[in-house]
Amino acid sequence: MESVLRYLDWTSVGLALLGGLLSLLLLEIFRLNSSRSRYPPGPKPLLFVGNLPQLINTPMELFRSMTKYGEICSMYLGRQPVIVLNNLQITKEAFVQNGAVFSGRPAMPVIDWITNGFGILAATYGHSWKQQRRFALHTLRNFGLGKKTVEERVAEEAQYLIKEMLKQEGKPFYPIHVIMNAVSNIICSVVFGDRFEYDDKQFAKLLEFLNENLRLLGSTAGQIFNLFPFIKHFPGPHHKVWQNANSLKEFIREAVEEHRKSLDPEHLRDFIDAYLVEMTKQVSKEDSSFHEDNMIMSTADLFLAGTDTTATTLRWGLIYMMDHPDVQERCHEEIIQVLGFDRSPCMDDRTQLPYTYATIHEIQRCSTIVPTVLHDITQPTQLRGYNLPKGAMVMCNLMAIMTDKNHWKYPNTFNPENFLDEKGQFCKNDFFVPFFLGPRACLGETLARTELFIFFTSLLQQLKFSWPPGAPRPNMDGILGIVRSPCPFNTICLSRETTH
């Protein structure tokens, strides 16, 4: 009799569990169908996980496919719907004409975990973000952003980079460290007041942590953390992100303490000095956001944004030059005609180097290191007839805009002619938006444009790049983390003076 009761008990438990699972499944199907009926069409999501499997496995393919659903479509990050904007007109309507409404930053648990909402890049749109961004822009300009002093600094660093690369002349090497170090030295000179040698082991480790975090934050581990943030209490690769971020913050704290000891308010040396003085000025203001935590994270944000994006674009540039040696040769010939071998380039040379300038733009267009930009909505609004609640996520598909077949001569192939007119002169294209639009557009755009032009022109002036014999071509979809990086590759460089 007892065995029969036990059998019935287990049967009841099993039936109850099965009934509960079926109910949960039916509720999720109903919820998803109801949600999809309120939003634009898009790729079919799976229950509970949405389009995350596609985003993790084939992200570039997913972004390219979005245009087939029209100018506005939707996808799902887990159970959360995301409105995707696929052309420039609707992007401007949202992010420029209604910038304050569409400039929120969606909650990303893995990012919030390491920033606590401080700084600029990941901060919520509001008073603190506005104060920090305004101060950063003002201070960067005071320390030479957009002026000849920064151009000279970049030109000088380009020579250090070339000298470092020539140590490997004729031998295959992976150029990630030297390029990151060179680019980082520019923002470091503005933020920390100093540059770092290429053989500085502590700084090399810091750049390694930075690169690893950018990859991990956008990886499967990062996406899983965003879905289930409670896993921070368990072991996993997310703890590597935490450790790396803490190493960067500790590096900045040490720099801040050194600055405090030698601070002269009458003679500011860099961003940290300026921030320390601003903290003192604002100490009595109740609405001030200038405090230690914001200083550490704002400094980290400038270091991160000023290092990785430009360095990643230059690495893509080497790949495209090795893949298109005819373009590389034409750039080199144009540069030598204007500059010779001895004079360093400056921004005034752009008009005399139209093909080289067009090539740099084409590298940015084809690499699209930020294929999409994700924001959320700060208040209820409407867009093209769809009612969007506060907190709804909106994604701009920059890849779709920069490969729009209606606005590019060669949308899907690498060709500098996309930026040249019939006379061979550089011509601007309004659909070239790598730095985004609206209130949250890249605050370092001026610096990035200067670095890309001077570094790229200097490299092609003095060096020739080629694939190592028999080297396989890397997957051109790259690796999508926070930015889209090229897969690891080796290059061979030779001195142009030697080859001439």
CATH at 155: 1.10.630.10
**Domain identity same for 107 and 125:** no
Q: Is the residue at 126 inside a domain?
A: yes
Q: Is the residue at 1 inside a domain?
A: no
Q: Which residues span the domain enclosing 134?
A: 117-370+402-499
**Domain identity same for 394 and 442:** no
**Final residue of a domain: which of 379, 401, 423?**
401
CA atoms within 13 A on the CB side of 439: 21
| Residue 355: closest CA among 433, 431, 279, 415 | 415
**Domain identity same for 202 and 290:** yes
Q: Is the residue at 154 inside a domain?
A: yes
Q: How high is the pLDDT of residue 199? A: 95
374, 353 Cβ separation under 8 angstroms: no
pLDDT single digits (tens) 449-480 = 999 999 999 999 999 999 999 988 899 999 99
Q: How high is the pLDDT of residue 239? A: 86
Q: Is the residue at 28 inside a domain?
A: no
**Domain identity same for 326 and 473:** yes
**Domain identity same for 197 and 96:** no
Tokens of 443: 């605050």
Q: How high is the pLDDT of residue 422? A: 95
pLDDT single digits (tens) 81-128 = 999 999 999 999 999 999 999 999 998 888 899 999 999 998 999 999
**Domain identity same for 462 and 314:** yes
- Ranges under pLDDT 50 in the chain: 5
| Residue 193: closest CA among 274, 114, 112 | 274
| Residue 48: closest CA among 31, 70, 66 | 31
Residue type, 460: L
Q: How high is the pLDDT of residue 11? A: 77
Torsion angle (degrees, nearest 10) of CA 361, 365, 370, 375: 100
Q: Is the residue at 13 inside a domain?
A: no
Cα–chain-centroid distance for residue 390?
25
CATH number at residue 101: 3.30.43.20
Give me the phi and psi of 463, to 5 degrees please: -130, 150
What is the model's pTM?
A: 0.94
| Residue 216: closest CA among 480, 486, 421 | 480
| Residue 92: closest CA among 407, 428, 484, 430 | 430
Q: Alpha carbon of 57 to those of 46, 217, 220, 245: distances in Å?
A: 14, 15, 9, 26
67, 400 Cβ separation under 8 angstroms: yes
Number of domains in the chain: 2
**Domain identity same for 442 and 299:** yes
Sign of the C-alpha dihedral computed for residues 11, 14, 17 and 23 taken in this order: negative
Q: Is the residue at 458 inside a domain?
A: yes
